[in-house]
Copies of this chain bind each other. A is one copy, B any other.
């Protein structure tokens, strides 16, 4: 398979060219040359982009993902790191599940106002004691377009 220019990579990966340039600048991907000004990429970049997408979806920052690639360019992913992230995700999932159940109840509840619903007030207390004043990081979001 021959080299791909940035537009082809963008098309095949769904990642905008501006993002590819940004990723290159960050050291997440590397171009193997130029045709004129135009960057050329090894087809392997597609797998790499998939790996990056995977990491992002799992909640890793770009900087963390960058660390997962050793100097030789081979992914060198720390199993402890993965386990830790899995645990973190699990905690998040349990929180979100509780929240979802609460929302569902609140949506279905027949109390005239949510403030009169005991379940809602219970959730509220939980939020007040646990989540209040805590920094929030959000879950996957639909594309902007």
Contacts and interface: CB of A to CB of B under 8 A. Distances in A.
Task: Give the oligomeric copy count.
Answer: 2
A44 to B, nearest CB: 11
Interface string A101-113: 0111011100001
A67 interface: no
Q: Is the interface of A mostly helix, strand, loop or mixed?
A: helix
Nearest to A91: B140
A79 B51 contact: no
Interface of A: 13-16, 46-47, 49-51, 53-54, 56-59, 74-75, 77, 79-80, 82-83, 85-86, 89-90, 92-93, 95-97, 99-100, 102-104, 106-108, 113-115, 123-125, 127-128, 131-144
